[in-house]
Amino acid sequence: MRTRDFLLVLLAAALWGTGGVLGTLLADDGQVPPASVAMWRMLVAGSALSLWLVARGALRLRSLTAPMLRRLLATGALIAAFEVLYFTSIALAGVGLATLVAIGSAPAWVVLWDWVRRGDRPDARRTLALVVALAGLVALLGSSLDAGDGALAGVALSIATGAVFAGVTVVNRVAVPGLGAARLTALAFSAGGLMLVPVAVLLGWGAPAGVVSWGYALALGIGSTALAYLAYLTGLQTVPPFVATVVALVEPLVAAVLGALIFVERIGPGGLLGGAALASAVVLLRPQRDEPATLH
């Protein structure tokens, strides 16, 4: 596991932490339903990265092989499902509870998959990091848990959301030769965004209206999504899926801080302790030294 790749995964988690806030602002300002928020997020991300690659002459659609196409379609479909489930669960259960269950359950799904399919068990250091991180999430978001109407359905969707995010991580644990992270992210998001067009039509169509709404959409698509997933998928070259999903738990911490700054939400002593626990988990998982990339 290379230190650079570990830091890229950490950067991705920090950028994702802005997504819930921007998505909520877009939904509230433009009255955009959750499925349409997910669709615009993916289309903006895919379009921005594709244009960047075209400008560099690096898109190279004709060079795509069958394994590349399978990876692109699988990644695009999984991320599309994740986005719809995530924003729908937020609408039902609130940002705090939905994020806690979705992001918090992802490492457990990865552990379960690797245990059943590969016979792998996390070592003591990684298990301790997971326990500390989950305890930190509970402390950080405890005041946000909303047991109101729709919360149970939102929790169920959040569990499914965590499984899908784990799937994105596991599917991309080994890179397809010749398919770099930039082209994978650009084309997978473009494909996933197009897959979501009929879903948005069926579940609730909406488009950003005005400069402010489009500003939220662009920030959500480019900063919180395109750059974040580019960093994450690049980091997965050497960062194991379990480590990556635990480091991704930094996302709710960033979201909570932004909520306090933007929406004047109170974090409180429990939130401060939770943030410290999450930071400790990341420190526990940091690379002990740079190692050559291996298949993991």
Per the model's pLDDT, the better-predicted residue between 71 and 106 turns out to be: 71
Structure token pair of residue 238: 């050497």
Q: What is the mean pLDDT of residues 43-62?
A: 94
- How many C-beta atoms surround the C-beta of residue 280 within 10 A? 16
Do 235 and 9 form a contact (C-beta atoms < 8 A)?
A: yes
> Is residue 291 classed as helix, strand or coil in its secondary structure?
coil
CA dihedral sign of residues 293, 295, 64, 10: negative
Q: Please, where are the H alpha helices in 142-249?
A: 151-171, 181-203, 211-218, 228-235, 241-247
> What are 157-192's pLDDT values in tens digits?
888 998 999 999 999 999 999 999 999 999 999 999
Tens of pLDDT, residue by residue over 211-265, are: 999 999 999 999 999 999 999 999 998 998 888 888 887 887 787 677 667 765 5
> How far apart are alpha carbons 84 and 90 in whole angstroms?
10
Signed CA dihedral, 120, 123, 124, 130: sign only: negative
* Maximum C-alpha span of the chain: 55
Domain boundaries defined on the chain:
3-285
The residue type of 201 is V
pLDDT digits (tens, 9 = 90+) for 113-159: 888 888 877 778 777 877 777 777 677 555 445 445 566 788 788 88
The pTM for the full model equals 0.82
